[in-house]
Copies of this chain bind each other. A is one copy, B any other.
Amino acid sequence: MSETPPAPKDSLAVPRFVGMPSFMRLPVRDTAEGLDAAILGLPSDSGAPFRTGARMGPNAIRQASIMLRPFNPYRGNIDVFQALQIADIGDAPVVPGYEMETLEWLEQAVARVVEAGAVPCCLGGDHSVTLAELRAVARRHGPLALVHFDSHTDTWDTYFAEKRYSAGTPFLRAVEEGIVDPHKSIQLGMRGSLFRSGDITQSLDLGYDVVTTDAIFEMGIDAVAERIAARTAGAPVFVTFDMDFVDPSAAPAVETPEAGGPTARETLAILRQIRGLDIKGCDVVEITPTYDGPGQITSLLGATVMAELLAMIAETRQR
């Protein structure tokens, strides 16, 4: 494409608070046509078993994201928006209180991005939205290697009333549906008290690699990044980032906070160390803005995580 790529507004020329906030002040588009990657909000919390309000997540992340700047010094000062055609295409529609219909609608919206040839970069929403994304992405790219940051495995079988679809079940469902290849996948950050003694083993039994928070600190960040790369090598990758991976001091506004996680610096260090993933889709989920303080630090960190994922995609594309 010969024309100038879509770029964020220049925050040295026009103050960041001027204008309606799209993600990183990117241009707003109706569709993903012609894009390499598309920011898409998935504003559903119908899958949330405890705190709710993640429906307000996408716009809260956008609002915080206007503080971010386009160049990423952690990957060779890459100009992400020169490397990739990215725009913010708004939100998928949802049916609040109707989890099954919501999952269908979300899947359709993500599918349209995938069909347009763009990488869906989604802003949640509770973690059940990831199942919709995985379905849409896997339909085109085949079984995916999941890189899953979270303090919980989300591989329970059912929740209340034996319901099989909620924020606590997507990564069992995804294995059952054959859209995630657990033997190529890795879950990182698990910690805290458990429902049953088998909360971790249920993931291992499915074939996932699991790296607890304690293990992350025992291995060290470099080893963690290498393990992710090795585990997913050669496969199409989907990265899902549940904000409760991070300690509640840096991410208080999540659905099920779990005390004792990595700091924001440690979290970003891991992400910035990861190299070579062939990302076909990604998301940042579980931000519930009404639980944030006035400093909105959860949304800012969530926006920063998404910006790192975009840089990861850009770097891989450039090579």
Cα distance A83–B22 in the bound complex, in angstroms = 30
Smallest CB-CB separation from A67: which chain B residue?
A: B256
Q: Does A170 lie at the interface of the complex (its beta carbon under 8 Å from any beta carbon of B)? A: no
Q: With a CB–CB cut-off of 8 A, which chain B residues contact A174?
A: none
Q: CB distance B297 to A248 under 8 Å?
A: yes
Flag A42-53 by CB within 8 Å of B: 1 or 0 each. 010111111011
Indicate if the CB atoms of B43 and A18 lie closer than 8 Å. Answer: yes
Whether a CB of chain B sits under 8 angstroms from the CB of A59 is: yes
A43 to chain B, nearest CB (A): 6
Inter-chain contact A297/B257, CB cutoff 8 Å: yes
Within 8 A of B (CB), among A272-307: 290-298, 300-301, 304, 307
Tell me which residues across on chain B come within 8 A of A16, comparing CB atoms.
49-50
When C-beta atoms are compared, the residue in chain B nearest to A88 turns out to be B20
**Copies of this chain:** 6
Does A5 lie at the interface of the complex (its beta carbon under 8 Å from any beta carbon of B)? no
Q: Which of A160-211 contact B (CB under 8 A)?
A: 160-161, 163, 166, 168, 192-197, 199-200
Pairwise interchain contact B52-A163, C-beta atoms closer than 8 A = no
Are A195 and B257 in contact (CB-based, < 8 A)? Answer: no
Size bracket of the A interface: 35 or more
A226 within 8 A of B: no
Contacts of A301 in B (CB 8 A): 248, 259
Report 9 cross-chain contacts, Cβ distance below 8 Å, ordered by A residue: A15-B49, A19-B90, A19-B91, A21-B59, A46-B97, A73-B200, A247-B263, A263-B265, A293-B294
Q: Which residues of A contact B (CB under 8 A)?
A: 10-22, 28, 41, 43, 45-50, 52-53, 55-56, 59, 62-63, 67-73, 77, 79, 88, 90-99, 101, 105, 128, 156, 158-161, 163, 166, 168, 192-197, 199-200, 213-214, 217, 247-250, 252-253, 256-257, 259-265, 267-269, 290-298, 300-301, 304, 307
